[in-house]
Copies of this chain bind each other. A is one copy, B any other.
């Protein structure tokens, strides 16, 4: 009854690393930008069939998150960010007069954004199987802007093997009754 893909073990001389940086200009202070199609396109461009894709924001007040793209849920998350790291609290980081480290002329009051970015994380990595991101039905990839509007740089690395012919499906005992499925 299992509709699982069989386990696969791919040896290949064709190991590849694909890198691309994608720039986006955000519009709101807090904004969820769905990058799923953009990342999926880079996985296809990479030609990599089995491996991983890592999406990394190069900022300390933005994050990468995987979850459902449902507009009301996104509104919930904006409220949850207030619970997790309130905007109306005095963060020491925003007391520019006390700062010893250099700060730029366009420094913003953004202690909340740093705290939220730490909670959500700046990079996420997902499995790549049969040439596609191994996302579940509802999973989507978001760049989360926490201190916009800004220009944001997202670094994408796809890493793995490219030679489908070198792929071979295994059929260990526990899978022997499952229908065979070729590498698509």
Q: Residues of A at under 8 Å CB distance from B? A: 2, 4-5, 7-21, 23, 42, 45-47, 50-52, 54, 56-60, 65-73, 75-77, 80, 84-85, 91-93, 95, 98-101, 111, 114-115, 117-129, 134-139, 153, 155-157, 159-162, 172
A19 touches B120 (CB 8 A): no
A159 to chain B, nearest CB (A): 6
Chain B residues near A57 (CB, 8 Å)?
136
A101 to B51, CA, bound (A): 32
Chain B residues near A91 (CB, 8 Å)?
72-73, 76
Contact of A121 among B18, B84, B124 (CB under 8 A): B124
A124 to chain B, nearest CB (A): 7
B19 touches A11 (CB 8 A): no
A90 to chain B, nearest CB (A): 9
**Closest chain B residue to A103 by CB distance?**
B70
